[in-house]
Amino acid sequence: MTKTTKTILFAVLAIFAMPFFQTQANAAESTFKTVQDRGYLNCVIGNSFVGFYTVDEAGKWSGMDIDICRSVAAAVFGDKEKVKFQSVQWAQSFTSIKSGAGDLLSKGMTWTLSRDTSQGLDFLDTYFYDGQGFMVRKDSGIKSALELKGATVCVLTGTSSELNLTDFNRLNNLNLKPVVFDDASVRNTAFFNNNCDVITNDISGLAAARNSADNPADYVVLPERISKEALAFAVRQNDSAWANVVKWTFAAMLEAEELGINSKNIDEIKKTTTNPAIKRFLGLEGDLHKGLGLSKDWTYKVIKQVGNYSEIYERNLGTDSALGIERKGTLNELWTNGGLLYSKSFR
């Protein structure tokens, strides 16, 4: 092959390869640019999960997942309200993101290996550490999940809860009989109408279901935890520019709590602080915002409008909320208090 022929061949290969590399480059920024051009965020959530995502009679959504979505809108647009919520069944959760109909999946979804590698998603961070358990009627007299031999169990199909139930059943030879549903509210109603002996879900989900009962005191959550459930948010796979925006927005809420910054004191701190870490975090010094393509004061907008992690936890899940889930002493504490929540370094 002559030198001229080689040159022509390489040129032809480069021309054919160019669309591929351009597609890869564009894909990395496609969601972020699409969101910016559209003017609002499409956030994929579920139907109803008290404390995480629920809608009132006026059509206003609230919950921890809702606040995560609003924080991203605040970071991108400076306005937490520039978000639309797409309520879908579990079966549509993954396809909504892969198809581009949704930009961010935040709906109490457990981060698992198979979901991370085979569903076209990238899970970015854990925002709530949970575990699966069982709830029964108090008058059943059952004190332990190991006493459930032969019981019928209400469970949501297509979820890690269904798989965990199968493993627990096989391991303990309990002859449990799953009764599957694809809608959480229908599953809960079936249990409360005595169509199942027991209901299984993440502990937070059981707390939400119990809270919705006519007489919550009639039900008890059994002590066993049969799984690890790291609830995480996700975006489309291989979309690094967008993934960076989402995961660092969440990190900002953790960092703010670590630094003692919340929605009520942030204005005063911004005016008076001499702490270099706080100055850097709030964009008063440095240019950390440039790598994300956000405004210099994006962290200020997130914390001022939505709050730090502690604020969103307490109003949605905490002891004064409908769920009343104590944070102290749990994995959902900051690492400085013995938990697993840890913001990466703002440098």
Measured over the CA atoms of residue 333, residue 337, residue 341 and residue 344, the dihedral's sign is positive
pLDDT-based confidence at residue 6 (cuts at 50, 70, 90):
very low
Least confident range of 18-27, 198-207, 336-345? 18-27
Bridge partners, residue 178, by sequence: 153
- Judged against a pLDDT cut of 70, whether residue 198 lies above it is answered with yes
Helix H or strand E segment including 87: strand 83-87
pLDDT-based confidence at residue 48 (cuts at 50, 70, 90):
confident
User: Looking at residue 311, what is its pLDDT?
Assistant: 98
User: Looking at residue 1, what is its pLDDT?
Assistant: 54
Tell me whether domains 27-130+230-337 and 132-227 share a fold: yes
d(CA 132, CA 140): 20
Sheet holding 219-221, edge to edge: 177-181, 152-156, 198-202, 132-137, 219-221
User: Looking at residue 22, what is its pLDDT?
Assistant: 40
For 24-50, letters b (16+ CB in 10 Å) and e give eeebbebbbeebeeeebbbbbbbbbbb
User: Looking at residue 128, what is its pLDDT?
Assistant: 96
Which range of 24-28, 99-103, 157-161 scores highest in mean pLDDT? It is: 99-103
- As a whole number, mean pLDDT of residues 308-336 equals 94
- Judged against a pLDDT cut of 90, whether residue 90 lies above it is answered with no
Q: Is residue 86 a contact partner of residue 45, using CB atoms and an 8 Å limit?
A: yes
The ranges assigned to domains in the chain are: 27-130+230-337, 132-227
The one-letter amino acid code at 57 reads E
> Tokens representing 241?
């520019």
Least confident range of 21-25, 36-40, 175-179? 21-25
The more confident residue out of 146 and 212 is 146
- Judged against a pLDDT cut of 90, whether residue 295 lies above it is answered with yes
> Tokens representing 85?
């919520």
Query: pLDDT over 70 for what percent of the chain?
Result: 92
Nearest to 325 by CA among 136, 139, 64, 48: 64
Q: What is the DSSP letter of 345?
A: P
- CA of residue 68 relative to chain centroid, distance: 7
Q: Is residue 69 a contact partner of residue 87, using CB atoms and an 8 Å limit?
A: no
- As a whole number, mean pLDDT of residues 292-302 equals 97
The one-letter amino acid code at 142 reads I
User: Looking at residue 25, what is its pLDDT?
Assistant: 40
Nearest to 85 by CA among 48, 110, 140: 48
pLDDT-based confidence at residue 2 (cuts at 50, 70, 90):
low
Q: Does domain 27-130+230-337 have CATH number 3.40.190.10?
A: yes
d(CA 264, CA 286): 24
pLDDT in tens, 215-226: 999 999 999 999
The one-letter amino acid code at 175 reads N
Q: 3-state SS of 201-245? A: EEHHHHHHHHHHCCCHHHEEECCCCCCCEEEEEEEECCCHHHHHH
Least confident range of 57-61, 87-91, 196-200, 298-302? 87-91
pLDDT in tens, 220-274: 999 999 999 999 999 999 999 999 999 999 999 999 999 999 999 999 999 999 9
Q: Does domain 132-227 have CATH number 3.40.50.300?
A: no
User: Looking at residue 79, what is its pLDDT?
Assistant: 98
Q: What pTM value is reported for the model?
A: 0.83
